[in-house]
Amino acid sequence: MSHDAVAAADHTMRHWDGGEPGRIRIGSDAHKRLFCRMILDTHNPYKPAVIEWPALDADTLHRITSLPIWDIAVQTEGKAKLRVATYTNTIADPLLREALTMDGDEEARHKVVLSKMVEAYGIPLAPEPEYEVPKDPEWGWLVTGYSECIDSFFAFGLFESAKRTGYFPAELVETFEPVMQEEARHILFFANWVAWYRRQLPWWRRPAFELKVMRVWLFLIWERIGIAKGLDNNGEMQDANFTITGHQQIGLDLKISELLDLCLAQDSFRMGGYDERLLRPTFVPRMARLARRFMR
């Protein structure tokens, strides 16, 4: 792709308004069309195979390759890819199916980007576990969606911080920038899907769904506590506590309060370009704002 084409694709992925004018009721068919079209129309068609990985000087290379995030990053994308695809297979609605396919394909592409990078810089990786097909496809989709809402929020701030301090060299920031924005699109899509799905469920199925959502949150909290302790379900050492202790691990001199401010600012910046009638993911930012009130 030419430089102009790349710039145009980048602009397209960040700015989008739905074609249908007027108010849109959450849970309606028009709402479904809005969030499905958003993810489809803003897709950036970059090809991981042609990314040129910049040569890094010895210090930078060491810093990047010794970051404890690569195993978990590869595995997270691997799980996400499988979970989204499994759920997609249960969906008959053509537009929703197309949108979910796009979402899952982008997760698959994230994994390719990461493996190309790992290969280019000789980053040592732990062998990948076998990814399990979720027995309940909807559960897998909800787990992926909500965990992205948590992880992407923190990743936005950490990424910005690593960019500002030069911890990540500019060329690498540029390479990963579209991936970050893709995660923003994914959580925007997910937040709207949840709101739409809830509303269109018959009343008698809603309690079971809300219960499932609560179980998902408990699972995610439990998973993150395990992660923070450095252990996964099998008792193996993991490095997934990155979103929690990431600012220390990448050696940034950043107070938690400053990190939260950065996350909040980046979150609204990344969500800013999309149709205002789409709901924004609000739970994690709200918690961050709440926590922020108790900090200086």
37 vs 110, beta carbon nearer Fe ion: 110
**Among the residue ranges 74-82, 115-123, 127-135, 205-213, the one whose residues contact Fe ion (CB under 5 A):** 74-82
64 vs 102, beta carbon nearer Fe ion: 102
Comparing every residue's Cβ against Fe ion, the nearest one is: 186
151 in contact with Fe ion (CB under 5 A)? no
Query: CA 110, CA 44: separation in Å to the nearest integer?
Result: 12
Among 83, 110, 163, 270, binds Fe ion (CB under 5 A): 110
Binding mask 165-184 for Fe ion (x = CB under 5 A): ------------------x-
Residue 4 Cβ vs Fe ion, minimum distance, rounded to whole Å: 27
107 vs 267, beta carbon nearer Fe ion: 107
81 in contact with Fe ion (CB under 5 A)? no
Query: CA 225, CA 233: separation in Å to the nearest integer?
Result: 11
Site for Fe ion in 5-64 (CB under 5 A): none
Among 107, 160, 239, 267, binds Fe ion (CB under 5 A): 107
109 in contact with Fe ion (CB under 5 A)? no
79 in contact with Fe ion (CB under 5 A)? no
Q: Is the separation of the CB atoms in 150 and 221 below 8 Å?
A: no
Residue 193 Cβ vs Fe ion, minimum distance, rounded to whole Å: 13
277 in contact with Fe ion (CB under 5 A)? no
Residue 274 Cβ vs Fe ion, minimum distance, rounded to whole Å: 16
Q: How many residues touch Fe ion (CB under 5 A)?
A: 6
* DSSP output for the chain: --HHHHHHHHHHHH-B--SS-S---TTSHHHHHHHHHHHHHT-----GGGPPPPP--HHHHHHHHT-TTHHHHHHHHHHHHHHHHHHHTT---HHHHHHHHHHHHHHHHHHHHHHHHHHHHT---PPPPPPPPPSSHHHHHHHHHHHHHHHHHHHHHHHHHHHHTTSS-HHHHHHHHHHHHHHHHHHHHHHHHHHHHHHHS-GGGHHHHHHHHHHHHHHHHHHHHHHHTTB-TTS-B--TTHHHHHHHHTT----HHHHHHHHHHHHHHHHTTB-TTSPPP-HHHHHHHHHHHT--
267 in contact with Fe ion (CB under 5 A)? no
Among 31, 32, 109, 186, binds Fe ion (CB under 5 A): 186
32 vs 186, beta carbon nearer Fe ion: 186
Residues that bind Fe ion (CB under 5 A): 77, 107, 110, 148, 183, 186
